[in-house]
Amino acid sequence: MRKITEIFATKPRTFSFEAFPPKTEKGAASLRSTLAEFEKLPFDFASVTYGAGGSNRDKTLDVVREIQEEHRLPALHHFTCVMHTKTEISVILDRLDRSGVYNLLALRGDPPKDKPDWRPGPDNFRYSSELVGFIKERYGEGFDVGVAGFPAGHPMASDRDFDADILKRKIDAGGDFVVTQLFFDNRDYFEYVGRLRARGVACRVIPGILPITNYRNAVNFAEGCKAGVPPEVHEIFSPIEDDEAKTAEAGIAYAVRQCRELLDGGAPGIHFYALNKFETVSSIIRKLGV
């Protein structure tokens, strides 16, 4: 199977992970080793990140090709529109189409750190919904297009209802499925799905899970993207934050509990923000009995 929606047609739930392109030769070797190990696990697809303004565009495509050709796993190529003109986007999409990329995660993206004040002009897309509509209008069903969801609300959204309205725009524009941002409180996910269903969004909403391997990093990242951190996380991890082994063990246990509750509650699978680490995700998968 090449397209993710084809997998959905045969599986009521899927398991997947996110990888990021390595910056060094050592990182590349580590990623190859990780992918070889992940191939042994029951994953249905992988996603590959894409830097601001396409800063690691070629590396993303290289990893996508490796996942698809070497490991025979469908790959979801992240694709942002920030910093790209519409003409540039057309050229890049044509290249991806010729390169055998079948699945895209369409994102607005954030400006790179060296250009924080960048603003879209007349020849740029302002929102990911516009990018989704452009892809579907130009390529029809040539690409499966996933979109990002934010159970706790997007950092720029005025409230969670408005955020759900924005997500509906992405689906109405042609989005095929949703992969959510990380969250640590499952109520955020279930309430989010409820808001989407009330708006007529019927596609899959796959929860994204970040196993905690470093307490402070996880908290900072979650707070930076408005994901929120429930008191329980602080109570569990704050006393052991300087103990790497205990943090990893507690992180696995917390993620397993999160995943079980999500799956029991009807979630159509799990997408792991694996951070290119095999052992943590492998342990979670084994404990889940997938």
Closest CA to 177 of 43, 2, 6: 6
Token pair for residue 113?
Answer: 């750190």
Query: Is 112 exposed, middle or buried (CB count within 10 Å of its CB: 0-12, 13-18, 19+)?
Result: middle
Whether 18 is catalytic is yes
Asked whether 145 and 174 are in contact (CB, 8 A), the reply is: yes
- The CA-atom distances, in angstroms, between 45 and each of 18, 70, 75, 108, 219 are 9, 13, 6, 22, 27
> What phi and psi values does residue 126 have, to the nearest 5 degrees?
-85, -35
Closest CA to 191 of 177, 205, 179: 205
How long a stretch of residues is the chain?
A: 290
Taking residue 257's Cβ as centre, other Cβ atoms within 10 Å add up to: 12
- Torsion angle of the four alpha carbons 169, 155, 149, 73, in this order, in degrees rounded to the nearest 10: 120
Report the alpha-carbon distance of residue 121 to residue 219 in Å, rounded: 34
Catalytic residue of the set 6, 18, 141, 241: 18
Helices assigned H by DSSP within the chain = 4-8, 25-38, 57-69, 86-98, 128-139, 160-172, 186-198, 215-224, 231-237, 244-264, 278-288
Token pair for residue 97?
Answer: 């189409």
Taking residue 44's Cβ as centre, other Cβ atoms within 10 Å add up to: 19
Residues recognised as catalytic:
18
